[in-house]
Structure 1
Amino acid sequence: MAKPGLAVPTKIKDSTQFYPYFKDCVGAIDGTHIPAMITGQDSSSYRNRKGQLPQNVLAACNFDLEFTYFLSGWEGSAHDAKVLNDALTRNTNKLIVPEEGTDADERVDDGNNEEEQLHGTQDQQRVLDNKWRATIAENMWTDAMNMES
């Protein structure tokens, strides 16, 4: 997961609802389809699986609900992974993702110790589950980056 530097955003740090779960988060990213008016030969490539003619749009925002990145213009039939890959690899208007630190205390356990997962307090299980989720997310990100290499 990306680290926001030394400071945790105030909206997260001051909230017991968010702090333990989103302390390492730097924002949110999602894709959506926005209706487009396409005519001629290009209309078939914009048609999505629901039969509509939208643009596939990628947007990122920070904790102040401000857009920090926006990429539009992709055909509605384009897969979200393709749009994200384009955002990460383009020369101009590139999506910048903060790099993860390499300190030993930031490394995530792979969660393979089944005995430890089955026994322990609820808090210990919650910590193990969060590590497991972080490992899955990190592996998915690594796999996505390696697909293009």
Structure 2
Amino acid sequence: MSRLPVSRLTILYDAQCSLCVHLRNWLLRQRKLVPLALVPAGSAEARRRFPALDHDRTLREITVIGDKGQIYGGPAAWVVCLWALAEYRPKAHWLATPAGAPFVRVTMLAAAKYREATTAGAAVGAGVPVPCDDRCAAPG
């Protein structure tokens, strides 16, 4: 299997999720070693750029796409986002190890719980029933 170098990443994020938007804004403020494009998941732009992706899945799980066609999802997507940042690359290398993997999993579970609580809370406050379409489910 050949390893292709990554020189640009596209991050698909849920533009309806306050946590995802916050993290998007945080990423934009960081010094990058790899340029990042942040595109709302499921948007016309995402569908145009990546027609073969399962766009429903990108709304449930962070998805990062490398410029050579690499696709990262779940824990790997979180780690590659940090890997692209100057200040966090050493931490990303550690998180990619067996010792760091539990920290990635706990962080993902906490983010999923937060999304679940804020999505349900916002809709309940607006008087809207929220049928969870698995967007806020904890990763498996």
Structure number having the greater helix percentage: 2
TM-score computed with the length of structure 2 as normaliser: 0.30
Structure number having the greater strand percentage: 1
Greater Rg, structure 1 or structure 2? 1
TM-score computed with the length of structure 1 as normaliser: 0.29
